[in-house]
């Protein structure tokens, strides 16, 4: 029994030797340094708790990679969902409050009212495409037409992460354009 305990202690030590490599791998997967550190910590805790389930100690690294990849995928999905919930908000520089970009359109209460009116929809699409036709098209397909970023990526035969980063950059540009228009309107 004592021999098994020493074996598990040795495996736990080996688990912690993989810390830096796991952080690096998770950052490569698209997590920020802070998120990668958090996920790595969770991976190591899970691994230590379930170390007795490891059947072949020679496959420790592959086992850790499997846990890390699964947790990274969950973390990325969660972060993406959080980002997408805030897609239409900008920070008003004067008040510091969040403002829905659709509220800046004249006489419209919500995005559905804008899309229902052909004239306003054309104006909105023109504004969105002003940041670049391809970028605007991705933003329109996702935000106005309801397609998922993975569906857009498949239709365009592009990497999903490329589409996601293009969408995020476009959103930031639109926030800047709308914020600038709001400042000009106040003058």
pLDDT tens for each residue of 47-99: 888 888 888 888 888 888 888 888 888 888 887 776 655 555 556 666 666 66
pLDDT of residue 97: 67
In this prediction, residue 133 carries a pLDDT of: 77
What pLDDT was estimated at residue 168?
A: 87
* Tally of CB atoms within 10 A around 164: 21
Closest CA to 12 of 55, 42, 57: 57
DSSP sequence for the chain: -HHHHHHHHHHHHHHHHTHHHHHHHHHHTT--HHHHHHHHHHHHHHHHHTGGG-S-GGGHHHHHHHHHHHHHHHHHHHHHHHHHHTTTEEE-TTT--EEEGGGGSTT-SSHHHHHHSHHHHHHHHHHHHTT-HHHHHHHHHHHTT---HHHHHHHHT--HHHHHHHHHHHHHHHHHHHHHHHHHHH-
- Report if pTM > 0.85: no
**Domain assignments of the chain as residue spans, ordered by start:** 2-82, 86-186
Q: Are 69 and 26 in contact (CB under 8 A)?
A: no
What's residue 141's pLDDT?
81
| Exposure string over 125-144, b if 16+ CB within 10 A, otherwise e | bebbbebeeebbbbbbbbbe
Residue 100 backbone phi and psi in degrees, to 5: -75, 125
- CATH top-level class of 2-82: mainly alpha
The segments of the chain whose pLDDT lies below 70 read 1-6, 82-121, 181-183, 185-187
pLDDT value at residue 34: 84
Q: Which residues make Cβ contacts (< 8 Å) with residue 123, sequence separation at least 6?
A: 105
Using N-to-C axis directions, what is the helix angle for 149-156 and 133-143, rounded to 10°?
Answer: 140
């Amino acid at each position: 029994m004592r021999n098994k305990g020493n074996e598990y202690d040795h495996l736990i030590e080996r688990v912690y030797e993989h810390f830096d490599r796991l952080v690096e791998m998770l950052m490569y997967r698209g997590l920020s340094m802070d998120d990668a550190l958090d996920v790595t910590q969770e991976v190591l805790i899970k691994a230590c708790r379930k170390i007795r389930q490891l059947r072949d100690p020679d496959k420790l690294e592959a086992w850790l990679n499997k846990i890390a990849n699964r947790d990274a995928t969950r973390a990325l999905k969660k972060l993406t969902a959080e980002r997408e919930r805030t897609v239409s908000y900008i920070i008003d520089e004067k008040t510091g409050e969040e403002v829905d970009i659709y509220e800046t359109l004249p006489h419209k209460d919500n995005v559905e009212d804008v899309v229902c009116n052909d004239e306003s929809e054309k104006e909105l699409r023109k504004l969105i495409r002003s940041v670049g036709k391809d970028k605007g098209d991705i933003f329109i397909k996702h935000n106005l037409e309801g397609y998922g970023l993975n569906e857009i990526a498949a239709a365009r035969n592009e990497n999903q992460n490329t589409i996601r980063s293009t969408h995020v950059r476009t959103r930031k540009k639109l926030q800047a354009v709308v914020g600038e228009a709001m400042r000009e309107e106040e003058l």
